[in-house]
Chains A and B, each alone.
Chain A
């Protein structure tokens, strides 16, 4: 707590650092808001510029981009049904239907507020119990990761209750897509058809943007030139109504909890966190049937969780020197460049740096919140631009984003390819969320299973000897059986709307 205070005061007393941080947040928000450009891209592009700064300034800017980038994804998700960054993918589920119902302003305001809440709660986790949480993170070995992945797959049922068979097919397509490239143990190339570019798998940004941005644009292109209803966005209030905040306390706390827990596990990420949080909230909600139809709880679940991941991911980074996700691994590189050894010692000896991480994270969240309220007004104005101008621009941005992340043209073709595949699938009644679920969780399940089975010398029963694994597997089973349990309890089966 003391570290946070001194760090915050230090930053507040240094106008230059503060300015750099605010610039970082702005840059991040813009990157987050534009489909195709992401927080990770923003951080890696601006990393070289931090070399000339002091460590505190450099860290402040990178954290600003991180927070801004994750927060900025919700505008496009809500207004265009295209996630500005992949981490806001789940926000589309309810944000866009809300906007269609004329509650766009409310959805945006709620999303911005949820982002803020997720950020602040995860800050407290970071400041108060980081060492303890890092220990929990270390308890996760291969079996635990495997079980978590399996549990996550249980979510598929609630993502596709409309047509369960097509939903399962879609999830399997996703898992197959996740298998492309070198297998995690033998190093054998799979489904690459001789293209060495594919040996590291389908590049995730290009794939996700293909499925969500390109595919959505193609779908909406069909109505370009026709008379379409223009989404009228009501005014965005500064805060969502107090009543609404109060009735969503459950969502805020659940989303933050799941976000932080996912954040402390290396390599799991925002999308999984928001999907899990969405699913969990729906299962304990009084009105699960409303999810997907433009329900405020859906926006809360997604936006709280994805921002809470940021604070969570900073925990293993600052206490152990182990990055929780892509952005934090770049942040670590930034520390090394400034002559700081990231690792357990940093937490003990360089309290000033830790303080500026904490303080930077707090101030970033505050600035991001205020800036979002301002930026969202500009963004709504942009919507007045006719779709036949807007879509090509978004497409160009997606191409630039896909190209820049690995600096190769191949990723752009992946973007185009997955976009077309996604379009064909959606036109035939398959839904995309289960595909993404399979695509993200498939590799986590596979590589950890294979590592685990090698470590236990072929004995898969070991998974049942570990309390965390067993707990997660039971949870996954409950997800799967939830619809039946509800029927048994005499509740009407929840019919997932939004045509999943």
Chain B
């Protein structure tokens, strides 16, 4: 009996210690303790690697930035952890408004996170690209369109996720090209790339940063970038502008704080992030190794972009949901 008591005592202690660690330390000058940066994806992915570059170069008044990976739910879980965190500037997340908008519209979460979260800055953009495998019969967009128009629904068009930004981008491209295809959703980028190389799908839509390694080796052939301008990383690949389409999509990523975070804190962080962007070493890493396009839109600008582009994207997301429901 005594031993049983002893065991339960240790257990209770063990469970009690963890939440305690968070409660200490308050206020004075911001920041006076480490800032927790949530990466809503696993360690080693593109977002994680980018955040770790910021971690290396950012100056937060001597306080470290601690990277915490909270993966799952297409990134929604890490965002929600931030949403419910204390708005004291010590918990922020790396995400983009398009993703957050899709969590809400697609019913992953019950609150309009994109509207309520406070943007700190949008720092990179990563356009989508459609690619085919190297021995594909379609060497360019025209061949693809010709085939798809002659055989509506025959083309297997793969991407990650069934709803959300990849699907929305796909819909934009279909609209621009005037084609009908069969959409094949995958649950991970690795699997979708393997499916393209193995010939299980005809076309893959993914981000430019993801296609780069297989494009460079010649195993995959990028045939269309989803922005008006060509991508700096795929200068030979036609863009939406080249085919005279007005549609455009690029995936933004940046940093966000919980709702109601005070303005001085946001200003402080915005400045800290913009400082990092002046560092040539950092710029080189993001461009050369991660293949993200660098940009800098501060808190207000990000909100402006959101206000301007969100209504159209919301319609697109809703349409995507409706398409799914009909199947």
Q: Mark A residues whose CB is within 8 Å of B.
A: 43-44, 47-48, 51, 137-142, 181-182, 184-189, 196-197, 199-201, 203, 221, 224-225, 266-267, 316, 320-323, 326, 329-334, 336-337, 339, 341-346, 348, 388, 391-392, 395-396, 399, 403, 406-409, 412, 447, 451, 454-455, 457
What's the least CB distance linking A451 to chain B, in Å? 6
The answer to whether the Cβ of B11 comes within 8 Å of any Cβ in the partner chain is yes
Q: Are B190 and A329 in contact, with the CB atoms below 8 A? A: yes
Q: Are A392 and B11 in contact, with the CB atoms below 8 A? A: yes
Q: Are A333 and B45 in contact, with the CB atoms below 8 A? A: yes
Q: Are B216 and A266 in contact, with the CB atoms below 8 A? A: no
Residues 1-55 of B at the A interface (beta carbon under 8 Å): 1, 3-4, 6-7, 10-11, 14-15, 18-19, 42-46, 48-49, 52
Q: A141-B198, A396-B14 are in contact. List 7 more A-B contacts (CB 8 A).
A: A47-B43, A185-B162, A187-B161, A320-B193, A320-B197, A336-B290, A337-B49
Task: For A392, list chain B residues within 8 Å (CB).
Answer: 7, 10-11, 14
Residues 197-217 of B at the A interface (beta carbon under 8 Å): 197-201, 212-214, 216-217
Q: Which 7 A-B pairs have the closest CB atoms?
A: A333-B44, A343-B213, A200-B72, A141-B200, A138-B198, A330-B44, A344-B217
What's the least CB distance linking A52 to chain B, in Å? 10
Q: Are B216 and A345 in contact, with the CB atoms below 8 A? A: yes
Q: Are A200 and B194 in contact, with the CB atoms below 8 A? A: no
Q: Which residue of B lies closest to A391 (CB)?
A: B7
Task: For B19, list chain A residues within 8 Å (CB).
Answer: 409
Per the CB 8 Å criterion, the residue count for chain B at the interface is 74
Q: Which residue of B lies closest to A323 (CB)?
A: B190
Contact partner, A141, options B11, B18, B195, Cβ 8 Å: B195
Sample (7) of A-B pairs whose CB atoms are under 8 Å apart:
A137-B194, A139-B198, A184-B185, A343-B212, A392-B14, A406-B77, A408-B70
What's the least CB distance linking B152 to chain A, in Å? 11
Task: For B186, list chain A residues within 8 Å (CB).
Answer: 451
What's the least CB distance linking B162 to chain A, in Å? 5
Most interface-central of A47, A199, A225 (chain B CB within 10 A) = A199
The answer to whether the Cβ of B112 comes within 8 Å of any Cβ in the partner chain is no
What's the least CB distance linking A213 to chain B, in Å? 14
Task: For B43, list chain A residues within 8 Å (CB).
Answer: 43-44, 47, 330, 333
Q: Which residue of A lies closest to B288 (CB)?
A: A339
The answer to whether the Cβ of B187 comes within 8 Å of any Cβ in the partner chain is yes
Q: Are B108 and A199 in contact, with the CB atoms below 8 A? A: yes
The answer to whether the Cβ of B142 comes within 8 Å of any Cβ in the partner chain is no
Q: Are B185 and A185 in contact, with the CB atoms below 8 A? A: yes
What's the least CB distance linking B27 to chain A, in Å? 24
Q: How far apart are the CA atoms of A140 and B194 in the complex, in Å?
A: 9
What's the least CB distance linking A401 to chain B, in Å? 12
Q: Are A196 and B52 in contact, with the CB atoms below 8 A? A: no
Task: For A323, list chain B residues within 8 Å (CB).
Answer: 190
With A184-B162, A199-B72, A407-B68 as known contacts, state yes or no: A225 contacts B3, CB within 8 Å.
yes
Q: Which residue of B lies closest to A330 (CB)?
A: B44
Task: For B106, list chain A residues within 8 Å (CB).
Answer: 187
Contact partner, B4, options A196, A225, A329, Cβ 8 Å: A225
The answer to whether the Cβ of B136 comes within 8 Å of any Cβ in the partner chain is no
Most interface-central of A316, A392, A455 (chain B CB within 10 A) = A455
Task: For B11, list chain A residues within 8 Å (CB).
Answer: 392, 395
Task: For A199, list chain B residues within 8 Å (CB).
Answer: 72-73, 76-77, 108
Contact partner, A47, options B44, B73, B107, B290, Cβ 8 Å: B44
Q: Are A321 and B6 in contact, with the CB atoms below 8 A? A: no
Q: Are A322 and B193 in contact, with the CB atoms below 8 A? A: yes
Q: Are A185 and B198 in contact, with the CB atoms below 8 A? A: no
Task: For A201, list chain B residues within 8 Å (CB).
Answer: 72
Q: Is the interface of A mostly helix, strand, loop or mixed?
A: helix
Indicate with 1 or 0, residue by residue over B212-230, a CB within 8 angstroms of chain A CB atoms: 1110110100000000000
Q: Are A321 and B188 in contact, with the CB atoms below 8 A? A: no
Q: Are B182 and A321 in contact, with the CB atoms below 8 A? A: no
Contact partner, A407, options B69, B80, B107, B327, Cβ 8 Å: B69
Task: For B44, list chain A residues within 8 Å (CB).
Answer: 44, 47, 329-334
Residues 53-95 of B at the A interface (beta carbon under 8 Å): 56, 67-74, 76-77, 80-81
Q: Are A406 and B182 in contact, with the CB atoms below 8 A? A: no
What's the least CB distance linking A228 to chain B, in Å? 12
Q: Which residue of A lies closest to B157 (CB)?
A: A455
The answer to whether the Cβ of B244 comes within 8 Å of any Cβ in the partner chain is no
Task: For A267, list chain B residues within 8 Å (CB).
Answer: 188, 190-191
The answer to whether the Cβ of B265 comes within 8 Å of any Cβ in the partner chain is no
Q: Which residue of A lies closest to B67 (CB)?
A: A48
The answer to whether the Cβ of B245 comes within 8 Å of any Cβ in the partner chain is no
What's the least CB distance linking A399 to chain B, in Å? 6
Task: For B285, list chain A residues within 8 Å (CB).
Answer: 339
Q: How far apart are the CA atoms of A225 and B44 in the complex, in Å?
A: 46
Contact partner, B184, options A221, A396, A399, A454, Cβ 8 Å: A454
Most interface-central of A141, A224, A225, A326 (chain B CB within 10 A) = A141
Q: How far apart are the CA atoms of A341 and B217 in the complex, in Å?
A: 11
Q: How far apart are the CA atoms of A142 and B289 in the complex, in Å?
A: 31
With A341-B289, A406-B72, A457-B182 as known contacts, state yes or no: A197 contacts B162, CB within 8 Å.
no
Q: Are B190 and A224 in contact, with the CB atoms below 8 A? A: no
Q: Which residue of A lies closest to B102 (CB)?
A: A187
Q: How far apart are the CA atoms of A343 and B220 in the complex, in Å?
A: 11
With A48-B52, A329-B45, A343-B214 as known contacts, state yes or no: A316 contacts B3, CB within 8 Å.
no
Task: For B173, list chain A residues within 8 Å (CB).
Answer: none
Contact partner, A320, options B4, B194, B199, Cβ 8 Å: B194
Q: How far apart are the CA atoms of A455 and B324 in the complex, in Å?
A: 14
Q: Are B108 and A343 in contact, with the CB atoms below 8 A? A: no
Q: Which residue of A lies closest to B290 (CB)?
A: A336
Q: Are B49 and A333 in contact, with the CB atoms below 8 A? A: yes
What's the least CB distance linking B133 to chain A, in Å? 10
What's the least CB distance linking B17 to chain A, in Å? 9
What's the least CB distance linking A496 to chain B, in Å? 33
The answer to whether the Cβ of B101 comes within 8 Å of any Cβ in the partner chain is no
Task: For B164, list chain A residues within 8 Å (CB).
Answer: 187
Task: For A399, list chain B residues within 8 Å (CB).
Answer: 14-15, 18
Task: For B42, list chain A residues within 8 Å (CB).
Answer: 44, 326, 329-330
The answer to whether the Cβ of B183 comes within 8 Å of any Cβ in the partner chain is yes
Q: How far apart are the CA atoms of A199 and B285 in the complex, in Å?
A: 34
The answer to whether the Cβ of B276 comes within 8 Å of any Cβ in the partner chain is no
Q: Are B184 and A186 in contact, with the CB atoms below 8 A? A: no
The answer to whether the Cβ of B153 comes within 8 Å of any Cβ in the partner chain is yes
With A200-B71, A224-B7, A409-B19 as known contacts, state yes or no: A341 contacts B216, CB within 8 Å.
yes
What's the least CB distance linking B114 to chain A, in Å? 16
With A47-B44, A185-B324, A396-B14 as known contacts, state yes or no: A321 contacts B198, CB within 8 Å.
no
Contact partner, A321, options B80, B162, B213, Cβ 8 Å: B213
With A51-B56, A266-B191, A407-B69 as known contacts, state yes or no: A200 contacts B77, CB within 8 Å.
yes
Task: For B6, list chain A residues within 8 Å (CB).
Answer: 388
What's the least CB distance linking A148 to chain B, in Å? 14
Task: For B183, list chain A residues within 8 Å (CB).
Answer: 454
Task: For A395, list chain B residues within 8 Å (CB).
Answer: 11, 14
Q: Are A408 and B190 in contact, with the CB atoms below 8 A? A: no
Q: Which residue of B lies closest to A388 (CB)?
A: B3
Q: Are B201 and A455 in contact, with the CB atoms below 8 A? A: yes
Task: For A457, list chain B residues within 8 Å (CB).
Answer: 153, 182
With A196-B77, A322-B193 as known contacts, state yes or no: A455 contacts B187, CB within 8 Å.
no
Task: For B52, list chain A residues within 8 Å (CB).
Answer: 48, 51, 337
